[in-house]
Amino acid sequence: MQNFLEEILPLAKKTISTGYYSKEKKSGKKKKSLAQAIRKAKTPVIAEVKPRSPSKGELIEGRNAEGIMREYAANGACAISVLTEPVKFGGKLKLLEKDYGIPLLQKDFIIDEKQMSANADAVLLIAEFCKLAGVNVNELVEKAHAKGLEVLLEVHSLEEFEKAMKTKADVIGINNRNLETLETSIQTTIDVLKQAKKKGKLVVSESGIYSRADVEKVLKAGADSVLVGTSLMQSTKPEEKLKELVG
């Protein structure tokens, strides 16, 4: 059975070849630090704009993405994660153009520096996906830094976490979703941080966060922040859901 990342890889390569990433308009905004925003926030929630999900289907359904991003910024998000992958997730690069007063994290399946948006403040790299594509994570981190972008390096296992800690990534993300099966459990973050020998970098718990209790569980386990997408996008009032999560 082909896993999700194996399915995405040819799509990512095709999207790069179409010139999708080279068509963006540079806005020239001043860069903001994701790491600093996480450190400063009382309850650091990175709120995500995700138009579509392979497991949940359409999520934005006619609502205005920019309006949702403004609400996130006004209601306590420390940063906004913006899906830019167009085929599976319906993402749009233009959502990174405006300044919302907080850092914007470009979330995509990045294997080439061409994909990194000049309008983002940070980019998400997936350790497992880079390995699958035969791409050196360390080199990609350096290329992101050369562009003035911070890096959130996403892992799923203890082994990946330990390796990620040795990179120059600014923030480590623990994805609670298994990208092979798409099953999700916040126990992943709890287990990895319980077994990890050393932290040493900021850690974000990603996926499967649906309540304030979930936020408190992963923060208590040692995470420094949470990234929330589906539960916000499924809410009829994402700003109210965000307030609940931030507490």
Domain ranges of the chain: 4-22+31-246
Write down the pLDDT at residue 147: 97
Write down the pLDDT at residue 179: 75
Q: Kindly state the tokens that stand for 182.
A: 């798409």
218 confidence band (pLDDT: 50, 70, 90): very high
Mean pLDDT, range 69-76, rounded to an integer: 97
Write down the pLDDT at residue 53: 84
CB atoms within 10 A of CB 244: 12
Eight-state DSSP code of residue 219? H
Please report, rounded to a whole number, the percentage of residues in the chain having pLDDT higher than 90.
85
Mean pLDDT, range 3-10, rounded to an integer: 92
- Using a 10 angstrom Cβ sphere, with 0-12 exposed, 13-18 middle and 19 or more buried, the burial of residue 216 is middle
153 confidence band (pLDDT: 50, 70, 90): very high
Write down the pLDDT at residue 242: 97
Write down the pLDDT at residue 2: 62
Write down the pLDDT at residue 200: 87
Check pLDDT > 80 for residue 156: yes
Check pLDDT > 90 for residue 175: yes
Write down the pLDDT at residue 59: 86
* pLDDT, tens digit (0-9, with 9 covering 90-100), for 43-66: 999 999 999 887 788 888 888 999
| CA-based nearest residue to 225, from 47, 71, 102, 53 | 47
Mean pLDDT, range 170-184, rounded to an integer: 88
Euclidean distance between CA atoms 37 and 59, whole angstroms: 27
- 202 phi and psi, to 5 degrees? -65, 140
Write out the CATH class of domain 4-22+31-246.
alpha beta
Mean pLDDT, range 129-139, rounded to an integer: 97
Which amino acid is it at 110? Answer: I
Contact between 95 and 49 (Cβ < 8 Å): yes
Q: Kindly state the tokens that stand for 72.
A: 């996130």
What is the number of helices (H) and of strands (E) in the chain? 10, 10
- The pTM score is 0.96
Mean pLDDT, range 182-199, rounded to an integer: 90
Q: Kindly state the tokens that stand for 106.
A: 């470009």
